[in-house]
Structure formats: C-alpha cells, structure tokens
Structure 1
Amino acid sequence: MTAGAGTRQAMTAQQRRATGIILVAALVAILAIGTALAGGYRVNLTPSEPLGLWRIVPLHRPAAVDDLLFICSPETAAMRAARARGYFRSGSCPGAVAPLIKTVIAVAGQHVEIGVSVSVDGRRVSSSSLALRDGKGRPLAPFPSGIVPPGYVFLHSAFPGSYDSRYFGPVPASGILGLAQEVFTYVP
C-alpha cells in the first residue's frame, strides 16, 4: 500500500465521520423544530410585532378587544393579492401563508370608521394612520367603514407599514389560532 492510498482511506473515514455528525445534527434540528411547532411555538420575522420567538396560547373564550392573536387569514381574492405582493410570508395556514400576529381593535357589532385614521365606536385608534401606497409605491385602498359582522374581528398593528384590517377588513374569528405570547423577542 502506498502512502497516498492510506491518506485517501483516512480522509474517507474522516468524511464519513463528518457526514454522520452532520446527519445527526440535522435530525436533532428537525426534531427540535417539529417539537416547537407542535408545542405552539413560532418565530416572528415581521416588524408588525417584536421579532423573535412567540407561543400560541389556546384561547378558551371569544376574542376580545386588545387581545393579541395568532390568526390565519381567510383565503379571499384580497388575501391572494396580498400574498402575491409579498405582504405575507409562507407558512402553515390555508393558502400556505404564515399566521398573522395582530391586535383585535373591534369585535362583532362595533362600528369601524376608516378615514385618515381608524376610529372604533367614535374613538380614534392610536397609530392607525392609513398609507396610500405600500413600501414599493403600489397603491393601497382602505377597506370601507362599517359594522363588524357576527363571527368576525377587526385587526390592527401599530407598525406603520402593517397590512391589517385597515386594508383587508374584518376577518373570521374561526381563523384564530390563539393568543400570541412573547417568549424571547427583541425590537431592532
């Protein structure tokens, strides 16, 4: 056996060992992610709420004003258009979008007035100014004012660039996954 042949065999053993370590690490990572998802943990990568790790906490009552929720958006033409514009990330909700993290600002029976900003039952919602264009200069149309219908909630985020009910209107409460609880987050 030549010296070169022994080196090739040693490298092959090292490569096998390295490949085994990488495979085990990948398996551990996949199991950890699967366990986290099954436990209701999600990572928020959008600026609508603080970035980081969140948990979906079961909601055993109807949604109320000021609840911060994880919610799946309905599969409507407006939501498909928003997805095409890149407003929603990929995820596990219908339409292959990620759940939204938004605050409930109105529930069934409340009157939402949309003008330069949003008012609910005559009281202005802070940080609710409307944008006429998105970050890429495309026009945004506000949702018409009206009463939130039974079985729906009106959502909001204080982040100025948030795409929320100001633009897509009330959403079915049936899409609520649970309350959004911060685990480890930060604001850049």
Structure 2
Amino acid sequence: MTRRRRALSVLLIGAAAVIGVFALGHLGGLRINLSPSYPLGIWRIVPLDREVAIGDLVMICPPPTSAFRLARQRGYLRSGLCPGWLSPLIKTIAATQGQHVEIAGSVSVDGMPLAGSELRTADAQGRALLPFAGGVVPPGHIILHSDFAGSYDSRYFGPIPAAGVLGLAHPVLTIRP
C-alpha cells in the first residue's frame, strides 16, 4: 500500500469513527448545547413517562413557524434535526394549558412574577424584539423560560405545542460560560 493510500485510509477510518460516535450519542439521547441560556456542554434527553409539569427542564423541538425561522436567520437557533431543520431548545416550563400569562416589562403567570423574565426591546445586534401579547395558554401548549437575560423564549414567541417535548434535559458534562 502506498503512503498516500495509507494516509487516506487512516483519514477515512478516523472520519467514520467520529461520525459513529456522534450517531451513537444522538441515538442515545445525547445533545450538545452551545447556547448560553443553560450551561454549555453535553446534555442527555430523558424520556418522560408523565405529563410535563411546571419547573421541568426540557429539551423541546420548536415548531417550524415564522417566528422560529426568523430566530434561525438571526442566529438565535442553530440548525438541527427538529422539523424545519431547527435545533432543540433547552428551557424550563413556566406555564401550562389554562394558565394566564401577562407580559408587561416582565412576565407574570397567574399573577405571580416570573424571576429573571425582564423583556428586552432589542437583541444584542440592536434588532427589535417583539414580546408575546400574553393571554391564556391554549390546550396542549406550554410557556418556556430561561432566566438568562438574552434568552429567546416564550417572552417573545409565546406558547408552543407540548407535543414537541423530547424529554427532560439532564446535564452530562457541562460548564457555565
């Protein structure tokens, strides 16, 4: 075998190994979080055997709506394997169906202020952020939140279908930025 063929073989085997590790990780429920909303690193999706509840930290596929297409264009979301080729979000469930959400400078759920929910009028690039109007969370929907000030969450996109929940999000190997 020539030196060039040997080098090519090593390169191909290495690439196949890396792809294999990522594929096994994906099939095993592992995901990489590169968003500062929660610690950076490797997270595991733990399937839910119950309904989602307030306070659950979940990994969820956002619906392929115009709000999320814009979020992808602006760089708030990365490409991924969710519908519309969006990446999953890691967020905390702040409200479920039937609860009243009020948005006025910050977020309140059923009259109780949500910590770390202050609204921003613009993103880090100075582009306008329009808040969700508020209202009652419809059946089958949830309100998502992160107390990270720059988080793109339901403060801006409103309720999303709970059917997109992939499972609970558990940190495996993470660091705080």
**Alpha-carbon distance in 1 for matches of 2:35, 2:25:** 19
Structural mapping, 1:20-169, within 5 Å:
20-169=9-158
Structure number with larger C-alpha Rg: 1
Q: Higher mean Cα deviation, 79-88 or 146-155?
A: 79-88
What is the root-mean-square deviation of aligned Cα atoms in Å?
1.1
Relative to the length of structure 2, the TM-score reads: 0.97
| SS of structure 2 residue aligned to 1:61 | coil
1:22 shift after superposition? 1.4
Q: Distance in 1 between matches of 2:56 and 2:67?
A: 24
Task: Work out the CA distance in 1 between the residues paired with 2:88 and 2:55.
Answer: 18
Q: 2:2 aligns with which of 6, 13, 21?
A: 13
1:168 Cα deviation after fit:
0.3
Moved over 6 A (4+): none
Note the alpha carbon deviations across 1:96-151, whole angstroms, 9 max, x for none.
01000000000111111111111111111111100000111011111011111110
Alignment coverage as a number of residue pairs: 177
| Aligned sequence identity (%) | 55
- Matched letter for residue 175 of structure 1: G
Q: CA deviation at 1:62?
A: 1.0
2:42 counterpart letter in structure 1: L
**Residue-by-residue CA offset, 1:40-94 (whole Å, 9 max, x unaligned):** 1000011111000001110111110000111011121222222222211000001
What is the alpha-carbon distance in structure 1 between the residues aligned to residue 53 and residue 150 of structure 2?
A: 24
Structure 1: give runs of 5+ residues left out of the alignment: 1-11
Unaligned runs of 5+ in 2: none
Give the alignment's TM-score, normalised by structure 1.
0.91
Letter in 2 for 1:104: I
- Quote the residue 2:159 is aligned against: 170
